[in-house]
Amino acid sequence: MTWPDSCSSSESSQRDAGTELYRAGCRCFQSHRGPDRLRGNGLSTMGRPYDLIVFDWDGTLMDSERKIVRCMSAAAADLGIPDPGSAAIRDIIGLGLDEAMQRLYPQAPTGLRQQLVQRYRAHFLELDRTDMPLFPGVEAGLAELARDGYLLAVATGKARRGLDRVLHETGTGRYFTATRCADEAFSKPHPKMLEDILDQTGTDRVRALMVGDTTYDMEMARNAGVDALAVCYGVHARAQLLECGALGCAESFAAVCRWIQ
């Protein structure tokens, strides 16, 4: 997500109109696609339905939820405004920072939300020392998928600076052919990030799979015409994810890899 490194609030107004076009609910959506469906002219020569796997970052590859909640609560305390609570903060993980603040504090003046952003960044980047490990099995799973010839990518609400930082710190950057961030496109659930990755990799949308832990990931995939697999160890509940059209809900990253292969 975009938390510490979002694009500026001045850019938010330019993105809001486009983002709102893709905020329709997913309650009635039922996917008719899946790994057993022939793609394009048929299955690949390896007999698999997907060539490109696009991952969300926070809550899917990295366990950053506790740090995000702590930093948001600390930022609110710094400014003497009500703490939205861990449940509300968890619910907006996955959105760009501007969109998240609008959800948490819809009545707050723009200036106050900007101050909140700055205090959040200070805590996330400098003051808070909460560990953010990769989820179990992620390093080995990415290596295995790359070794088996899948193209791997990241579509995240993080800004470019934030994503590059964690890719370097975790040593996982070498596995990804393409990465796309909210400050380079639109916040989820707008499909722009996925569309850019499809263009960059030259992949047909029916040969791609989105993997994420939030309804925003599932909605982005739907809006881009891409299949989606949910993980149930992140921030949104299984029922929500399946209601939004996820083809399945994996309990671990190892299960993600088994489902794909």
Nearest to 156 by CA among 130, 115, 184: 184
Reduce the DSSP state of residue 24 to 3 states and report it.
coil
Task: Identify which of 198, 225, 250, 229 has the alpha carbon closest to the alpha carbon of residue 55.
Answer: 229
Tokens 């590059």 -> residue: 164
Identify whether 58 is a catalytic site residue: yes
Task: Answer whether 193's CB lies under 8 Å from 56's CB.
Answer: no
Residue 68: how many other CB atoms lie within 10 Å: 26
Report the alpha-carbon distance of residue 61 to residue 164 in Å, rounded: 14
Integer Cα distance of 45 and 204 in angstroms: 16
Cβ-proximal residues to 47 (8 Å cutoff; 6+ apart), any chain? none
Active-site position among 5, 36, 51, 58? 58
Number of neighbouring beta carbons within 10 Å of residue 132 = 16
* DSSP E strand boundaries for 157-252: 178-181, 208-212, 227-231, 249-250
Q: Are 124 and 3 in contact (CB under 8 A)?
A: yes
Active site residue 56: yes
Catalytic residue among 5, 36, 51, 56: 56
Catalytic residue list: 56, 58
